[in-house]
Amino acid sequence: MLAAAVIALLVAMALTLVRAFVGPRLYNRLLAINVFGTKTVLFISVVGVLSGRPYIFDIALLYALVNFVSTIAVLRLTHLDELLPSSDEGTAR
Amino acid sequence: MSLSLLIDIASGALLLAGCLLVVSGAVGLLRLPDFYTRTHAGSLTDAAGATLLLLGLLLQADGWQSGVRLVLIMLFLLVTSPTAAHALAQAARRDGERLPAGDDEGRR
């Protein structure tokens, strides 16, 4: 059953990669990479159980956090003025 | 029906449901026409598929140490995945990402 899960995750990762390459502009690619990161976390967890190595789950845990922080970091990179709470809110939205 | 058989069946069913959601999310990510619908497809199946899959793994995890790690992974995914999707959609909306053609609400 776990092998089926591994295959399904690989298929999902491949499809997400296709969207990452095809995606017209920044946001489709960013969304695809975010989804790909979550799939990687799941892939690591399934392989961890499959191969009987429970200590791999720490890597999956860390990767889940790094994935989230990197998405927010890229958004912060492309939107420095809007995401800063201290920026003056009076500007026309 | 012995307990271990029951656990195997339950974890198999959860894994199957998780896998179906994950693959459907990936297909939805590809086929949906617009960015916002893709965000919906991508992040929704992310959170739900991940939870089901990790619950299925939890039943098969031996020992409480790996079980705690799996629960932590599930909690973090449940918290971070919707937040990231929201931040992404808001940033895209602010940046003037086109809404679907049928929508006539003022677009920049």
The model's pLDDT over A56-84, given as tens digits with 9 standing for 90+, comes to: 899 999 999 999 999 989 888 887 666 56
Please tell me which of the candidates A15, A30, A82 has its beta carbon nearest to residue B94: A82
Do B94 and A75 count as a contact with CB atoms less than 8 A apart?
no
pLDDT of residue A92: 44
Angle between helices B35-60 and A2-22 in degrees, nearest 10: 160
pLDDT at residue A91 tops 50: no
pLDDT at residue B107 tops 60: no
Q: What residues in B contact A32, CB-CB < 8 Å?
A: 29, 42
Q: What residues in A contact B91, CB-CB < 8 Å?
A: 27, 75, 78-79, 82-83
Q: What residues in A contact B60, CB-CB < 8 Å?
A: 2, 49
Burial code (b: 16+ CB inside 10 Å, e: under 16) for A36-67 equals: bbbbbbbbbbbbbbbeeebebbeebbebbeeb
Please tell me which of the candidates B15, B63, B81 has its beta carbon nearest to residue A1: B15
Count the Cβ atoms, other than its own, within 10 Å of residue A93: 7
Please tell me which of the candidates A18, A45, A65 has its beta carbon nearest to residue B70: A45
pLDDT of residue A34: 92
Residue ranges of domains in chain B: 3-94
Angle between helices A26-50 and A2-22 in degrees, nearest 10: 160
pLDDT at residue B86 tops 80: yes
When pLDDT is averaged across residues A26-30 and rounded to a whole number, the result is 88
Average pLDDT, chain B: 85
Tens-place pLDDT, residues B61-72: 888 888 899 999
